[in-house]
Amino acid sequence: MSVPSKTGKTLVQFNVKNAVYAVSGASGGVKPLTFMNTFTKDRNVTVKNLYGDGELQDSLNSDRSITGAIGTTARDADFEKDIGLAEAAANGLAEIAVKSSVRINFGFETEYKEKGLPVKTKKVWVLNATVTPPNESLTQNQDDITESTFDYNYTGYGENMKDSDGTEDYVDENGMTVRVYTLSCLPGDTGYETFLDSVPVPKKASV
């Protein structure tokens, strides 16, 4: 029996770069985020088991948000001012107490290698997220420079998928909406070249 070819299957994903963000409902559009060096995403799915007649009959999934961190090489003062973590003072930059959670969307690029094919770049948006201030730890230089890294922890709440026209929420055959946490675009997909220029609306593919 011959083994099916895996040519075209993704072999590895690596690197993260060219991060951007957009504050929901604000003017100014998409803005550059300082130099990104890590990204993590955790799916927070919980399962409720349903028992009857003394045994497991079924289960329900609860999937309300994603969490993770945007790692950067330095703090971004413009970004922090836009989301209410800092503001300009008469004599410098003031890091202020957080009073509310500003919703943002943030995007980035990552690279991947498919078997037998050249390296390609995938573009990704994380939709409808809140961000917390980064913790800070600085260390003196000794024989070498000791650089710091900063993690902006986030919670992503996602957006409802729209119908193929992008006007109304898509509802499946069971009357349920579909929540979209991240949206990614690959070379050859519609809108790939400009995918990070504006926040995309997740739409149901036309049949």
pLDDT (tens digit per residue) in 15-43: 999 999 999 988 889 999 999 999 999 99
Predicted pLDDT at 133: 95
User: Is 108 contained in some domain?
Assistant: yes
56 in a structural domain? yes
Q: Tell whether 19 is covered by a domain.
A: yes
pLDDT at 57: 97
Q: Would you place residue 48 in the very low, low, confident or very high pLDDT band (cuts 50, 70, 90)?
A: very high
In this structure, is residue 205 part of a structural domain?
A: no
Residue 148 included in any domain: yes
Domain that holds residue 60: 10-185
Number of domains in the chain: 1
CA-angle at 88, arms to 86 and 91, nearest 5°: 125
pLDDT in tens, 50-108: 999 999 999 999 999 999 999 999 999 999 999 999 999 999 999 999 999 999 999 99
Pairing, β 179-180 against β 159-160: antiparallel
- Asked whether residue 204 is domain-assigned, the answer is no
In a domain, 42, yes or no: yes
User: What is the structure's pLDDT at 29?
Assistant: 94
Q: Is residue 192 part of a domain?
A: no
- Compute the mean pLDDT over every residue in the chain, rounded to the nearest whole number: 95
Give the contacts of 49 (CB within 8 A, at least 6 positions apart): 56, 59
When pLDDT is averaged across residues 177-204 and rounded to a whole number, the result is: 97
Whether 131 has a pLDDT exceeding 80, the answer reads yes
At residue 2, the pLDDT reads: 82
Residue 176 has a pLDDT of 96
* CATH number, residue 144: 2.30.110
* C-alpha span between 70 and 9 (Å, rounded): 27
Q: Residue 207: is its pLDDT beyond 80?
A: no
